[in-house]
A and B are shown apart, each in its own frame.
Chain A
Amino acid sequence: MINSIHPGLILILSGIVIMLVPEKLRKVLMIAGPVIAAFAAWSLNQASCLCLEIVPKITLQLLHVDSLTKMFLVIFSAASLIGAVYALSSQNRFETGLEAIYAGSSMGAVLAGDWITLIIFWEIMAVSSWLIVTSAGTERASKAGFRYLMVHLLGGNLLLAGIIMKVAGGSMDITCLTGTGDAAFWLIFLGVAVNAAIPPLNSWVSDAYPEAPMGGTVYMASFTTKVGMFYIIRLFAGTEFLLWVGVFMAIYGASMALIENDLRRLFSYHIVSQLGYIVAAAAVGGALGIDGAAAHTFNNILYKGVLFMCCGAVITATGKRRISDLSGLYRKMPLTSICFLIASLSIAGFPLLNGFVSKSLIMNAMAEGGYHAAEILLMVASVGTLLSIALKVNYFVFFGKADGCTERNTVLEVKPVPLNMKIAMVMGTAGCVIIGVMPDLLYGLTPFGSDGHPFTVDHVTQYIELFSAATLAFVMYIRHMAPHVAITLDFDWFYRKPLAAAVRWTSGAVSGLFETCGRLVSRLVAAGSRYLHRPSAMLEDLGVKIPRRKGGIEDDDVLMKPAGSLVAINVTLGIVIAAVVLAILKVRGAV
């Protein structure tokens, strides 16, 4: 039954066409695809239906629309449009087509009404995002892409195993799993946890995102982890142990970002940190918790998109990706610097910007639920976000002077940033400011319509006090805040070092075993060949002396080998026949 258009399928189709058509038409399609998808998404309602019967009794429900889905569709449409504008200057038709397919499959995953539809779009998402990473064309990208694919195939298989258990149990429709606690719950949770970047399954974010093309990173930051968040909310809202998982993520991401030197790796850690807030809010559950989680995901896509876009602009303009190689860019890239400043204050939760609006919902959910320790720790994580992005990056990259570690910057060449990149950055930044000033626009989209009352005096002064005290600490310890030229080990160390060594050792041991077996067999063949050539050699080897006649037939190579072989075959046959006869006699005797 069909009564609506699927926005995800529109984007997937546009992505396929984008790869095939000439450049001018490609650019038109890159913008037209997300715009048409946005209209299709906006026209969906709870009665929307798109069902396909693939085999008798198994019907795919491609459109399942509720208020949570609708909210995610709005932001996914906006993100795919902003991402497309940003990627307009890309010459790689393969990459730009894949980005549309990836965005479409993310919408498809969010819209799935049954488990099988979910796993289909989930896997398309994994494969298309892997291809986006590798489309950067560098050796680093190809290696990081391989690790990305391995982790996501593991997640996909865990999810599939859980889904098979669910479907075998007769439940085709996606339903909330909170409180079930069976094997299917854990398998599906682990599968979703990979996309949700829940430690220790988080390191693919900071491993792969920095290696993807600039436009690709903007897309990836907007979709994979956010689909993960959608399913954390939809399947696991109210699962209490996730509260501490979320709090850990928030603190861990901010702390890792504090010592990170690579810009895109730093922002990747902030994805983990912000996802921590969302996971914690979803764990609290209830109207406030679910609305807080959904609203924060919505805002996260906006400000994280701007941060990655600004970062891409800096890398495009300077060719540098490390903070220690950059400084004082404000004078050379004022628009990028201002967009970055606004987005960085948004992510920290500064009043009048969108992060503040959704954090208010989350903090209210914590306070009302009585989770006071978690509330304090999330405040500390906000302080960490301020330190590591809003203060550290703004000071060392954009607004501060060269400070010891950035002497090389004096000869830094800054190329102009393409206009489309600037427009996309401004679009995202405008979204951050508009929602920050008019929070009701966002609250109106949330599943339960909760109001975070963000602009009460106690809320605003709370954040001003937190941030001014944290800024004081930053200024006091500014010498220690400069990043070092180093890499930071994460959970990916386990599969890049010990697991890689174990694989190397195992393959070495197996090939060594085969080599030894091969040597043994060739020795046996050599020895056998000698005996076949001259059976009397066997007796000689056993110490029996055989008189040899010079010029005798035993010296004739041509004849001796077949003769020896015949003897060997006859002896073997004789032994086999004797064994069979003995066996028959024994059986008869027994009877």
Chain B
Amino acid sequence: MKKILTASIVGLSMTVAGLAFAEPVKIGVITTLSGGGAGLGVDMRDAFQLAIKQSGNKDIELVVEDDAQKPELAVQIADKMIQSDKVDLMTGIIWSNLAMAVVPSVVAQDIVYLSPNAGPSALAGAKCNKNYFNVAYQNDNFHEAMGQYANKDYKKTFILAPNYPAGKDSLTGFKRYYKGELAGEIYTQVGQTDYAAEIAQIRDSGADSVFFFLPGGMGIAFMKQYAQSGVNIPVLGPSFSFSQDVLPAVGDAALGVKNSASWSHDLDNEANKNFVEAFKAEYKRLPSIYAAQSWDTANLIVSALAKASVKDKDAFRAALKAADFKSVRGEFTFNTNQHPIQNIYVREVVKEDGVLTNKIIATAFEKHGDAYADQCKM
């Protein structure tokens, strides 16, 4: 703590000195702006830009590029941003498989990467890095919360997720807290659009509930097909398939579904109210959780820049780690592995003024960290 304090003070004095030169800071944002996952990336980008604009910090310059949800493209963009744009910080990646392709090499080149969404377990445990900050969650978190919550009503749950790092983390997380029996466990293809084969197995399994993690377009396709299939088993999930960006497409099939998240637009704190209002005023729509996490990421960066120069890596990292910003999620601190310690809530999909949205109905975990922090030696 003392070290951090000293570092922040040193950092602070350097910023004061730095201010005279108005040192520009370049942030590389790689996110998904096209294809089935575009909704997530667009919310991420919009909230990030708005937060930077509202901060009044004119020295921040953003370089935004679309990864089209393709790992190989994300790697190319990252190389380009580092080598020719000479970015100081990077952020933006939504998908865990893209994060796994990009983050290890970025942080190895001593560039700080802040994750606004993906939190693969590999980067939280043994492969944690001093240059990697996760501002969103460790992938298991929301699923752990749903596993915990499912114990209340269900004894035989059918679980499914895509076959990629976040999908495996998801089901691992669910199983870590769920005490009932599993009616089945399926891994689907990433980007799969037809779930007939899976729905048939759910129908046949005798499950009393279905837990699924299918982010972006996958979840929309699943929910639409599930609603048409005549299977009436209640569904549960992390917030991703019931987030504000996908609810209009899923439609009334989502009503009443319980889902878990670290944030909801009705979360009662000052920072969140400001955020929801500013976002609605600027973009004429309700923000999603991706927007909330990205807003926090931007504000964390702004708070750290006020304390330390981005060129002084040690001081800047210490300033980030202090997490001295007003999170829209309420209380927010970093764990030893630089992943969040935060509350996880259970939400229910409701209709407010004709618009489908979520409202918080329970708190699954308070000040929840992750299961991998012990393996991180930093």
A and B from one complex? no
Task: Identify the A interface with B (CB < 8 A).
Answer: none
